[in-house]
């Protein structure tokens, strides 16, 4: 058991992390207690200590990596949603300009949303990935997202 704990401890630090770390800790403590009660019969107390120490180290490293990675994943998700929203706003602006040119509209003219949507992919208004709503605004005024001020979804 002590050797198995040490092998699992080595694996937990190098490649299997928490999957081998927990068994290394359990086997290490069991082997260490057994070696303390009957050292002549079992031995291997040093291997057991090495196994459960490496198991604890791998769990600590896993928690540390998770604590660093989770906020970065959240930030990447927010950045991706912001980029997708800005892309949608650009698509709306391009469709609005094309509709305005074809219908001889001038600055300040109202926009017919359904008619502008005909110039978008699948003739459908895009959807903000963060759940915001788009305002097409008048000709020569860029479209806006309801999350523009708080999340930076602006052109």
Do 27 and 85 have their domain in common? Answer: no
pTM for the whole thing? 0.65
Q: At residue 120, what are phi and psi to the nearest 5 degrees? A: -95, 165
The CA distance from 63 to 21, in Å, is 12
DSSP-based three-state secondary structure for 112? coil
Could you tell me which residues are beta bridge partners of residue 144? 135
Of 93, 104, 85, 88, residue with least CA distance to 142: 93
Question: Which pLDDT tens digits describe the chain residue by residue (155 residues)?
Answer: 999 999 999 999 888 888 899 999 999 999 999 999 988 888 888 999 999 999 999 999 999 999 999 999 999 999 999 999 999 999 999 999 999 999 999 999 999 999 999 999 888 999 999 899 999 999 999 999 998 877 888 88
Do 93 and 133 have their domain in common? Answer: yes
Do 111 and 137 have their domain in common? Answer: yes
Residue 25's contacts (CB-CB under 8 Å, 6 or more residues apart) are 5, 51, 52, 55, 56, 59
Q: Which of 23, 49, 70 is the last residue of a domain?
A: 70
Do 141 and 89 have their domain in common? Answer: yes
Do 84 and 141 have their domain in common? Answer: yes
**44 near 34, Cβ under 8 Å?**
no
Number of domains in the chain: 2
Residue 85, CB half-sphere, CA atoms under 13 Å: how many?
26
**H-helix or E-strand containing 144?**
strand 144-145
N-terminal to C-terminal alpha carbon distance within the chain:
63
The CA distance from 47 to 55, in Å, is 12
Do 141 and 82 have their domain in common? Answer: yes
The CA distance from 155 to 149, in Å, is 11
Do 8 and 38 have their domain in common? Answer: yes
Q: Which domain holds residue 33?
A: 2-70
Q: How many CB atoms lie within 10 A of CB 132?
A: 19
């Amino acid at each position: 058991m002590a050797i198995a704990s040490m092998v699992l401890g080595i694996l937990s630090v190098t490649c299997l992390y928490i999957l081998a770390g927990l068994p290394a800790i359990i086997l290490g403590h069991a082997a260490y207690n057994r070696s303390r009660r009957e050292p002549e019969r079992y031995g291997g107390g040093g291997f057991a200590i090495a196994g459960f120490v490496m198991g604890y180290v791998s769990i600590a490293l896993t928690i540390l990596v998770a604590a660093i990675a989770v906020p970065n994943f959240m930030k990447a998700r927010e950045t991706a949603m912001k980029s997708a929203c800005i892309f949608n706003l650009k698509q709306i602006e391009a469709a609005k300009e094309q509709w305005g040119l074809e219908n001889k509209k001038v600055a300040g003219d109202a926009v017919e949303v359904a008619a502008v949507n005909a110039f978008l992919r699948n003739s459908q208004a895009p959807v903000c990935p963060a759940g915001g709503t788009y305002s097409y605004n008048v000709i020569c005024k860029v479209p806006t997202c309801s999350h523009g001020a708080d999340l930076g979804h602006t052109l």
